[in-house]
């Protein structure tokens, strides 16, 4: 959804016109408006999104500054701070804070750092993919059109997206590094992350101080790089693009007024923010964005989702397909690296000698236990085999003895039977009768006669 100054109601236009006329009269009366402000040049012939596109193409814009807030990371799954219901501040009640912003206040952190590190675990970089907004900014850098990217975000997604470090100003700090709050010893993101994900409060190895990621808490100074870059960047800017920021937190919000009066300013956000208001605007101070000012000739508000706005802007500038291809390829690469990272995590981590020795001792103990088990099993197997063989031998012996016994019994039985048979036969035979002498002589004579030739 787009929104331009032409979309304002006639009533609002009339009221703003009257108010602006009065404030301008007072400011000029007291000499509070400089000559350049009195003679505002006309920047855009057509104060609209398409009019801005034509300006970019015709003027060969090459010194673009982008300013980003939490709105460019919400589609990655990271909550912003102030959205009602879903914003981070609306969901901090579980930490029992005196007020939501206390979790980012130094006094509360020193008194009770645990809530911050519990929250840090939920939001820690490395679990999210950059959004189309991040890759749009990267393409601006690759095409030589980005002067600098200023971000309020601490999620490091700009780094993951590949935006060069020299083009990046992390105004509110980053999780990329951390320092001890006492001795200022520096620690890497991986070291801090390991402690946080083990539910530990990171403590300095050189002193008892807490190691805090280098994000800017309320009451802390912004990074030196921020102060150094704003002095030289904004006076050169030929297009300012504000993405997903509420423009509430200072001094970040005031950067919109550092660009020259001839520089167009584009807001891509869900609602209009950073507009001229309050007593300062009555006296010509602070400027702010002038979407609804009838004299506005440079400020454009595109209202809607930040990703959609950046994709549309890329299409209008002729590299929409390039942006979509880059998003697809980079997300695929991140998915592949995350899968490979899980497998190679141990190989990439530094070797802990003590832990390694303990592991070796454990492995040796396990091996000895396994050997003992194997020996015991072998012994059991031998005993079982020996027992089985003995049983077999006993069975054979028993069988042999049984057979021999049976044979002996059979033999004895047979002998007894023969004796019995003989006895019976003897009993059955008739007693021999005596042969008379006459019969015997007669038989002998007759036989002799027969034997004669």
Residue 425 annotated as binding? no
Q: Is residue 405 part of a domain?
A: no
Q: 168 forms bridges with which residues in the sheet? A: 149
Identify the three-state secondary structure at position 220: coil
Q: Is residue 113 part of a domain?
A: no
Residue 32 has pLDDT above 80, yes or no: no
Does 149 participate in catalysis according to the annotation?
no
Average of pLDDT values for 25-53? 73
Residue 204 annotated as binding? yes
Q: Which has the minimum average pLDDT: 114-128, 133-147, 236-250?
A: 114-128
Residue 353 in tokens:
């000698």
Q: Is residue 263 part of a domain?
A: yes
C-alpha distances out from residue 417 to 71, 367, 404, 428, Å: 119, 73, 19, 17
Q: What does the pLDDT read at residue 408?
A: 58
pLDDT-derived band at 358 (thresholds 50, 70, 90) equals low
pLDDT tens-digit readout, 194-234 = 999 999 999 999 999 999 999 999 888 899 999 999 999 99
φ/ψ of 438, rounded to 5, equals -65, -40
Domain shared by 235 and 372, yes or no: no
Domain shared by 270 and 151, yes or no: yes
Residue 207 annotated as binding? yes
**135-151 in b/e burial notation, b at 16+ Cβ within 10 A?**
bbbbbbbeeebbbbbbb
Q: Is residue 86 part of a domain?
A: no
Return the closest-CA partner of residue 46 out of 5, 102, 105: 5
Q: What is the rounded CA–CA span in Å between residue 279 and residue 286?
A: 10
pLDDT-derived band at 89 (thresholds 50, 70, 90) equals low
Residue 359 has pLDDT above 70, yes or no: no
Out of 172, 176, 179, 227, pick the active-site residue.
172
Q: Is residue 445 part of a domain?
A: no
Q: Is residue 225 part of a domain?
A: yes
Q: What does the pLDDT read at residue 5?
A: 37
Domain shared by 238 and 380, yes or no: no
Domain shared by 297 and 384, yes or no: no
**Domain range for residue 338?**
5-78+128-172+216-348
Q: Which of 315, 348, 381 is the last residue of a domain?
A: 348
Average of pLDDT values for 80-95? 60
pLDDT greater at residue 439 or residue 146: 146
Q: Which of 289, 323, 348 is the last residue of a domain?
A: 348
Domain shared by 29 and 139, yes or no: yes
What is 303-362 written as a DSSP string?
A: ES-HHHHHHHHHHHTT-HHHHHHHHHHHHHHHHHHHHHHHHHHHHHSPP-HHHHHHHHHH
Domain shared by 247 and 366, yes or no: no
Domain shared by 67 and 157, yes or no: yes
C-alpha distances out from residue 263 to 236, 255, 258, 260, 316, Å: 9, 13, 10, 5, 20
Q: What does the pLDDT read at residue 101?
A: 80
Q: Is residue 197 part of a domain?
A: no
Domain shared by 293 and 324, yes or no: yes
Domain shared by 325 and 225, yes or no: yes
Q: What does the pLDDT read at residue 387?
A: 59
Residue 13 has pLDDT above 50, yes or no: no
Alpha helix locations (H) across 31-131?
35-38, 49-59, 106-111, 114-123
Domain shared by 168 and 291, yes or no: yes
pLDDT tens-digit readout, 140-187 = 999 999 999 999 998 889 999 999 999 999 999 988 889 999 999 999
Average of pLDDT values for 398-405? 61
Most confident of 298-302, 364-368, 413-417: 298-302
Q: Is residue 453 part of a domain?
A: no
pLDDT tens-digit readout, 253-294 = 999 999 999 999 999 999 999 987 655 555 545 579 999 999
Q: Output the average pLDDT for the chain.
A: 77
Domain shared by 372 and 336, yes or no: no
The count of structural domains within the chain is: 2
CATH of the domain at 19: 3.40.50.1220
Q: Which of 340, 369, 394 is the last residue of a domain?
A: 394
Domain shared by 63 and 151, yes or no: yes
């Amino acid at each position: 959804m787009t929104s331009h100054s032409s979309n304002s109601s006639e009533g609002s236009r009339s009221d703003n016109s009257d108010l602006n006329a009065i404030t301008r009269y007072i400011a000029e009366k007291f000499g509070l408006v400089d000559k350049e402000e009195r003679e505002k040049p006309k920047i855009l012939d057509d104060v609209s999104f398409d009019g801005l596109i034509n300006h970019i193409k015709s003027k060969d814009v090459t010194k673009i500054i982008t300013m980003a807030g939490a709105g460019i990371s919400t589609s990655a799954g990271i909550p912003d701070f102030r959205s009602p219901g879903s914003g981070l501040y609306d969901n901090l009640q579980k930490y029992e804070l005196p007020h939501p912003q206390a979790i980012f206040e130094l006094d509360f952190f020193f008194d009770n750092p645990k809530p911050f590190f519990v929250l840090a675990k939920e939001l820690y970089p490395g679990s999210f993919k950059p959004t189309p907004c991040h890759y749009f900014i990267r393409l601006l850098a690759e095409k030589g059109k980005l002067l600098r990217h200023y971000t309020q975000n601490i999620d490091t997604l700009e780094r993951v997206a590949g935006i060069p470090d020299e083009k990046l100003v992390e105004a509110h700090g980053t999780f990329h590094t951390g320092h001890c709050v006492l001795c200022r010893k520096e620690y890497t993101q991986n070291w801090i992350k390991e402690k946080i994900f083990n539910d530990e409060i990171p403590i300095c190895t050189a002193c008892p101080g807490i190691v805090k990621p280098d994000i800017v808490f309320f009451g802390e100074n912004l990074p030196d790089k921020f102060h150094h870059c704003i002095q030289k960047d904004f006076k050169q800017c030929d297009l300012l693009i504000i993405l997903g920021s509420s423009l509430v937190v200072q001094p970040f919000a005031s950067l919109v007024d550092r660009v020259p009066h001839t520089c167009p300013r584009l807001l891509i956000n869900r609602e209009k923010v950073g507009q001229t208001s309050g007593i300062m605007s009555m006296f010509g101070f602070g400027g702010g964005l002038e979407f609804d000012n009838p004299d506005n000739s440079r400020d454009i508000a595109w209202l809607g989702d930040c990703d959609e706005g950046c994709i549309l802007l890329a299409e209008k500038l002729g590299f929409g397909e390039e942006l979509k291809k880059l998003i697809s390829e980079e997300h695929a690469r991140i998915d592949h690296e995350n899968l490979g990272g899980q497998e190679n995590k141990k190989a990439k981590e530094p070797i802990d000698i003590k832990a390694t020795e303990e592991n070796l001792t454990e492995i040796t103990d396990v091996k000895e236990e396994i050997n003992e088990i194997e020996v015991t099993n072998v012994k059991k197997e031998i005993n079982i085999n020996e027992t089985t063989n003995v049983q077999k031998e006993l069975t054979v012996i028993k069988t042999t003895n049984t057979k021999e016994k049976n044979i002996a019994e059979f033999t004895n039985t047979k002998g007894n039977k023969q004796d019995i048979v003989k006895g019976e036969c003897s009993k059955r035979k008739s007693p021999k009768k005596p042969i008379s002498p006459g019969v015997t002589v007669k038989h002998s004579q007759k036989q002799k006669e027969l034997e004669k030739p």
